[in-house]
Amino acid sequence: MSEHHARIHWQRNDAVFTDQRYSRAHRWHFDGGAEVAAAASPAAVSPRFTDVSAVDPEEAFVAAISSCHMLWFLSLAAAAGCCVDSYEDEAVGFLREVDGKLVIAEVVLRPRLRFSGTPPQAAQLDELHEAAHARCFIAHSVRCAIRVESAD
């Protein structure tokens, strides 16, 4: 099959570290040269120990699910002859306690689509989303529920 690599880099700098008062800001490096500022969620640690403008792992998890779903949806829509002009998703992940552990228990995708020509009927749109979900290998890799709330 294939391998997918990410290089994560964090550095202590001048922080004491053992007092838990160190920065959680770090960098994600991907093949092709993409680099992303990353940090712990300000919901997990004090904002003074993170970079609130950076991507946190929970956001990245939600974004990966949404992106995989969208890419499959676009491919399936094109194959069905539906011309998608834009796709925007306001996805959200819900962190909850399950069996005494914090987990992202559910991800809700809320795609908004614009089409050229005649848009698909609601039933066809639902079928495209179901087929995209069935093919999304990120969705198959997680235990949380994933729900699509189509706004169209």
Question: Residue 119 sits in which domain range?
Answer: 57-148
CA-CA distance, 114 to 92, in Å (whole number)? 21
Regarding whether 126 and 64 lie in a shared domain, the answer is yes
| CA neighbours closer than 13 Å in the CB half-sphere of residue 81 | 3
Report residue 13 as tokens. 């700098």
Is residue 152's pLDDT more than 80? no
Confidence of residue 150 (pLDDT cuts 50, 70, 90): confident
Regarding whether 100 and 27 lie in a shared domain, the answer is no
The string of pLDDT tens digits covering residues 62-87 is 999 999 999 999 999 999 999 999 99
Yes or no: say if 9 and 26 are a contact pair by the CB < 8 Å rule. yes
Confidence of residue 130 (pLDDT cuts 50, 70, 90): very high
The string of pLDDT tens digits covering residues 8-64 is 999 999 999 999 999 999 999 999 999 999 999 999 999 999 999 999 999 999 999
Regarding whether 77 and 136 lie in a shared domain, the answer is yes
CA-to-CA dists, residue 81 to 72, 74, 127, angstroms: 14, 11, 14
Give the residue from 128, 124, 118 showing the smallest Cα distance to 148: 128
- What is the pLDDT, as a whole number, of residue 124? 97
Regarding whether 73 and 142 lie in a shared domain, the answer is yes
Regarding whether 139 and 82 lie in a shared domain, the answer is yes
Regarding whether 44 and 107 lie in a shared domain, the answer is no
- What's the Rg (C-alpha) of the chain? 19
- What is the pLDDT, as a whole number, of residue 120? 95
**DSSP secondary structure of 126-151:** HHHHHHHHHH-HHHHT--SEEEE---
Regarding whether 66 and 45 lie in a shared domain, the answer is no
